[in-house]
Structure 1
Amino acid sequence: MAESKAPDSTRRSEKSRRAIYAAALSLVGEAGYAKTTIEGIAARAGVGKQTIYRWWPSKAAVLLEAFLDLGEQAAEAAGGGAYEIPDTGDLAADLKLVLRATVDELNDPAFEAPTRALAAEGIVDAAIGAQYVEKLLEPQAALYVRRLRAAQEAGTVRDDIDPRTAMELLTGPILHRWLLRTLPLTHEYADALVDYALNGLAPRSSDE
């Protein structure tokens, strides 16, 4: 008589977790964050809502983890490994490359809906806001800081600039335009931000 094996609870839990991630992301994209509920996520994922509450305290916590996982899956699909802003020796070109990719991501419905939901929820929920900053925004900011410090070491950026402030000059306007939705978010806009940030706004003399 063949010996029966006990169900693999680890595999079952991972399958359920993946289903919950997918359900949360799809519902937020379809119905919006306000209309997404734990009950709705559970129903779409095919799990009991107590399963969700056992792992997460709120729908915002579910969405944050699902969104972080989405980013990890995208990174793996792109070849895996820790991402860094390229250092080709041409700072403007490198920054334009990464800002264009940011524009593409913010315009992608798969990323846009959960990003908007988490940005809004983070304002009213301090715990979610802190996690959003720690797990998503700070790691992204660090990429710019490292690239700008490398440019300082190479002598292409002034030694006295603060890389963190410089990073905000580049990314802040992108997020501002995206949040307001009043003007299109394009590659051309991203390129202009890099040119303005690196070259300044003051008129140049004829010998420059």
Structure 2
Amino acid sequence: MGPDASRRSDRARRAILSATRDLVAEVGYTRLTIEGIASAAGVGKQTIYRWWHSKAAVLFDAILEVNSQEEGRVALPDTGDLESDLRLVLRGTVATLIEPANDRLQRAVTAEIQTDTVVAEELVRRLLRPQLDACAERIKIGIRAGQVDGSVDAGLAVELLFGPIFHRWLLRTGELDQTFADGVLDMVLKGLRPR
């Protein structure tokens, strides 16, 4: 019996995604190339093109893998306690953003989306929108359960929750930690509670 081709393919895929994350953090998206990814991953370019149509597609799969997310599928906790569920999500967001390797990767992508609208739209479609929509849906469940005022715009509430976290991360205006995430949540929830 010969080597397992699926295992070999999975190893190659993981090596490509890891190399992509490392390279984009090191050289930025503009200087990232399929050739560079292939070389760093120890695979041929044709292996990458068999699975992805562009370097942006490889990059977003690398980001999705870091965030343990399948494209378009985000599961938020629903314990019945909205505050506990949102606290878990916000703390997880902070932990992901401040992890050094992920921080470099996210900063490289954030810099790129300032000038490349195609990459920005792809980021929103594949990563950001599914996360925001899942969080908004969890808030709507909180509305139906009477934990959130019925007049609340769930999409705006999500922006109020995550906006300060991303602002602090992006501009490095202060400590980004669980205490900050908890403070943001506590303040936003005051405005969301039933009147």
User: Which bin holds the TM-score, normalised by the shorter protein?
Assistant: 0.7 to 0.9
Match of 2:56 among 53, 60, 67: 60
Q: Which residue number corresponds to residue 76 of structure 2?
A: 84
Aligned 8 A contact 2:76 2:85 in 1 = no
1:99 aligned to 2:90?
A: yes
How far apart in 2 are the matches of 1:168 and 1:183? 20
Relative contact order: is structure 1 or structure 2 higher (C-alpha 8 Å, sep ≥ 6)?
2
Residue pair 2:112, 2:119 contacting (<8 A) in 1 also = yes
C-alpha distance in structure 1 between counterparts of 2:115 and 2:74, whole Å = 31
- Structure 1 segment 21-170 matched on structure 2, within 5 A: 21-53=17-49, 55-72=51-68, 83-89=75-81, 91-170=82-161
Aligned with residue 172 of structure 2, among 168, 173, 181: 181
Residues 29 and 112 of structure 2 are in contact (CA less than 8 Å); yes or no, is this contact kept in structure 1?
no
CA distance in 1, matches of 2:120, 2:37: 22
Q: 1:28 to 1:106 in 2, by over 3 A?
A: same
Letter in 2 for 1:111: N
Q: Which whole-Å deviations, capped at 9, do the CAs of 1:66-125 have from their partners, x for residues lacking one?
A: 22133338x9xxxxx962233343x33332221111100100123222222223323333
CA distance in structure 1 between the partners assigned to 2:51 and 2:74 by the alignment: 27
Residue type of the alignment partner of 2:159 = E
How far 1:144 sits from its partner (Å)? 1.5
**Which structure 1 residue ranges, 5 or more long, are not aligned?**
76-80, 201-208
1:199 is aligned to 190
Structure 1 range deviating more: 50-59 or 129-138:
50-59
Q: Matched residue of 2:78: which SS?
A: coil
1:57 CA drift (Å): 4.6
Alpha-carbon distance change, 67 to 171 in structure 1, aligned in 2, over 3 angstroms: same
Structure 1 partner of 2:14: 18
Measure the CA separation in 1 of the matches of 2:123 and 2:74.
19
- Identity among equivalent positions (%) equals 47
Q: Which residue is 1:206 aligned to?
A: none
Shift of 1:30: 4.2
Of 106-115 and 165-174, deviating more is: 106-115
Aligned to 1:204: none
What per-residue deviation string (whole Å, max 9, x for no partner) do you get for residues 161-199 of structure 1? 110011110011111111112322111111111121122
Q: Distance in 1 between matches of 2:66 and 2:173?
A: 27
Give the AA of the match of 2:87. K
TM-score (norm 2): 0.80
* 1:22-69 deviation per Cα after TM superposition (whole angstroms, max 9, x unaligned): 211122344544554333212111123354355445433321122213
Larger CA deviation: 156-165 vs 142-151: 142-151
